[in-house]
Structure 1
Amino acid sequence: MLPLTELEERIGYEFTDKKLLRRAVTHRSFAQEHNERLEFLGDSVLNCVIGYALFLRDKHFNEGELSRVRANLVCEGTLFEIATRIDISSFLFMGEGEIKTGGAHRPSILADAMEAIFGAVFREAGFETAQRVILHLYEPILTALTPEKMSKDPKTRLQELLQGEHLPRPEYAIVNTTGAAHERSFECECRIHSLNIVTTGKAASRRAAEQAAAETALALVKERSK
């Protein structure tokens, strides 16, 4: 495990309260003081920061298009991409059982840790500092965000990537549904058999859950291609 001072360098912010950063990278399998509340906070801040960045960047996109692109940028797949780039797994505090089952490299856990870090920065230093940290980490993604990419959803981009490598298209399936009819939550699975990749996504609709699963799968395919 690397020292948290190294993580501070990678995110571009030095914490005054070191315990706050430690909590942000502590999984619930390790201690009662874990990162889930910070994750909740970070998710809200992230949505606001990315939404505002898109609002300023592309004035020709309407509300629906901006909402879809924002959803793609704040989803598990994109957060996993950032977490992998700065190697969040080297800083996580996790229980032995979770480590043995590969939790330190599970997209959902790494994405949650990124949101918790954003929440911790906001908690200590306020919105403007959290905004700076988020935009710094998102800079390569936002820079590469062409109008063409903004117009295509994750399922389309994943299918095109696989077709370009002459691989079969992914398969999608609902693996779980919860909640009453008026507040239903779907969990969908994306399988790429040829690459032995299986990802999941959760959302209030089947389509959105499939898109979330596709976004995570897309990040994994790109990571393998490096």
Structure 2
Amino acid sequence: MNEQEFEEILQYQYHDIRLLKRALTHSSWCKEHHRPPMECNERLEFLGDAFLDAIIGTELFTRLDHSNEGKLTKLRALVVCEKALAEVGRKLNIGEYLYLGHGEEMTGGRTRESIIADAVEAVIASVFLDSDYEHVRDFVLREFRPLVDLALEGKLYSDYKTQVQEILQKNGTEPEIRYVLDRETGPDHDKTFYVHMLCNGQKMGSGSGKSKKEAEQNAAKASLEEGYVENVL
């Protein structure tokens, strides 16, 4: 892989290029090459998620100085969701530069939304660790600002989980909403997750996806479209 070429796409030059390589290394590559799990991008993904939340949250807080916590939370969830991260990753062509195991490669890992989204979060963390908060803030806002603008215009994706929660809270109650993992199928590099939604212990819609987040969104969507939410009200 050519990390230097990807640096040009990122518009950032690393002091320690090893951080970028780790950000682009999927766990399947480590397993296949008998490398320690710590050399994959999962820890960086954890850190990048935190910085992304903080940076987008601050941007929304600044631009929407009269909005309440609920609206800010909803908008941030749209901008930092897996789908949005994957869109940024595809724009950066990050899939082409990933280190993947052979099995993951053969089953479409370079275009899988969850893998691309995780890699974007890992890259965010790698930029911070290589530089400072200002550099990572500049990178995140440059890449995510178009999505922030769309969210403010109400033109970004549907967040079905938030829609369900808002509808069920309209009468002033605070229902207990949970998403339960029923099962997962397939090998580690190509899993499918199956989830159902519970509201106050009552089973609602079910959904599946290539990540738990996607499955939960699809369960919430089914709960809306199949009348479960309406029956609770």
TM-score normalized by the length of structure 2: 0.67
Write the letter of the residue equivalent to 2:213: K
TM-superposition CA deviations, 1:4-48 (whole Å, max 9, x none): 222212222110101110010000111231111111110111000
RCO higher in structure (CA 8 A, sep ≥6): 1
Match in the other structure for 2:135: 129
Q: Determine if contact 1:25/1:91 at 8 Å carries over to the other structure.
A: yes
Match in the other structure for 2:181: 176
Write the letter of the residue equivalent to 2:124: F
1:9 maps onto 2:15 in alignment = no
Match in the other structure for 2:174: none
1:202 maps onto 2:213 in alignment = yes
Distance 1:15 1:213 in 2: 41
Counterparts of residues 75-224 of structure 1 (less than 5 Å): 75-149=81-155, 153-155=158-160, 176=181, 187=195, 200-202=211-213, 209-210=216-217
Q: CA deviation at 1:213?
A: 8.3
Write the letter of the residue equivalent to 2:20: L
The equivalent position to 1:48 in structure 2, one of 44, 54, 61, is: 54
Distance 1:7 1:147 in 2: 31
Match in the other structure for 2:20: 21
* Residues 1:213 and 1:90: Cα distance change in structure 2 (over 3 Å): farther
Write the letter of the residue equivalent to 2:159: P
Q: Determine if contact 1:190/1:200 at 8 Å carries over to the other structure.
A: no
State the percentage of identical aligned residues: 38
Distance 1:115 1:49 in 2: 12
Task: Provide structure 1 residue ranges, at least 5 long, that are not aligned to the other structure.
Answer: 157-173, 179-185, 192-197, 215-226
- 3-state SS of the aligned residue for 1:29? helix
Distance 2:144 2:90 in 1: 13
**Further displaced range: 4-13 or 45-54:** 4-13
Distance 1:95 1:19 in 2: 19
List 4+ stretches of structure 1 deviating above 6 A.
211-214
Distance 1:133 1:122 in 2: 10
1:58 maps onto 2:58 in alignment = no
Q: CA deviation at 1:175?
A: 7.4
Q: CA deviation at 1:105?
A: 1.0
TM-superposition CA deviations, 1:105-125 (whole Å, max 9, x none): 111000000000001011111
Match in the other structure for 1:161: none
| Number of aligned residue pairs | 179
Q: Decide which structure has the larger Cα Rg and report it.
A: 2
Match in the other structure for 1:183: none
- 3-state SS of the aligned residue for 1:202? helix
TM-score normalized by the length of structure 1: 0.69
Q: Determine if contact 1:38/1:115 at 8 Å carries over to the other structure.
A: yes
